Amino acid sequence: EVQLLESGGGLVQPGGSLRLSCAASGFTFSTYTMNWVRQAPGKGLEWVSSITGSGGSTNFADSVKGRFTISRDSSKNTLYLQMNSLRAEDTAVYYCAKDGLNWGSYFDLWGRGTLVTVSS
Amino acid sequence: DIQMTQSPSTLSASVGDRVTITCRASQSISSWLAWYQKKPGKAPELLIYEAFILESGVPSRFSGSGSGTEFTLTISSLQPDDFAAYYCQQYNSYPLTFGGGTKVEIK
């Protein structure tokens, strides 16, 4: 079955760190650019970060640049998001999403999301 | 950055109604636009890409049109399963950006 399954969310204090994981199955993971997209409570969707299939190129939203790192392990078919210096405004459901084309396109497969809450 | 503006933000409609949602880009994005459906507690689902191409498995009552800066998503006959939020997204350039969303409610 083609699917994405996120994990690693939880409650963290401001200034803390968290690492999210996304396990992919049912498609050739190493071929596709992968992304993280988030949705804060009561808000819309916000693209966070992208990484190419090889892992050689990455891109970040200005709101997380310098604090978040994206990476992937093709031997484990897993995408990661390392989140440091977390702020209250990072509270959101984080979704893993697969690119429909190659680099910088639409998202044709999404996970169910993992909730990150930044609060003291 | 390319700003995406959706209207209306909320829409009240009845089963069987024809519904149209508009998405405007702050600069030309050619046809590099996608539409998604989002239900509470569920993952977003891709409906349309490249402005008008229906994703496999999506009912034909959904259609998309437009190019440049103005786009529309049309639901020809609203069904009970269609009450949800809808988002447009441009992929002309990074940063990838979404519209603010349109919530389709039961009238």
What is the per-residue pLDDT across B17-71, written as a single tens digit (0 to 9) for each?
999 999 999 999 999 999 999 999 999 999 999 999 999 999 999 999 999 999 9
Tokens at B76, concatenated:
């020809």
Q: What is the pLDDT of residues A16-25, one digit of tens each?
A: 999 999 999 9
Report yes or no: B86 and B37 within 8 Å, Cβ to Cβ: yes
Residues of B near A (Cβ–Cβ under 8 Å) read 32, 34, 36, 38, 42-46, 49, 55, 87, 89, 91, 93-101
Residue A102 has pLDDT above 80, yes or no: no
pLDDT of A83 reads: 98
Task: Compute the average pLDDT of residues B86-102.
Answer: 97
Q: Do A44 and B99 touch (CB under 8 A)?
A: yes
Chain mean pLDDT for chain A? 96
Over residues A64-87, mean pLDDT = 98
Distance of CA A58 to the CA centre of its chain: 12
Give residue A10's identity as a one-letter amino acid code. Answer: G
Chains A & B: contacts with CB separation below 8 Å: 60
Spell out which residues of chain B touch residue A45, defining contact as CB-CB under 8 Å. Answer: 36, 38, 44, 87, 89, 98, 101
Separation between Cα atoms, residue B75 and residue A60, nearest integer Å:
33
Closest CA to B7 of B101, B82, B106: B101
Beta-bridge partner residues of B89: B34, B98
Average pLDDT over residues A50-62: 95
Q: A interface mutation test: which of B5, B35, B91 has the most A CBs within 10 A?
A: B91
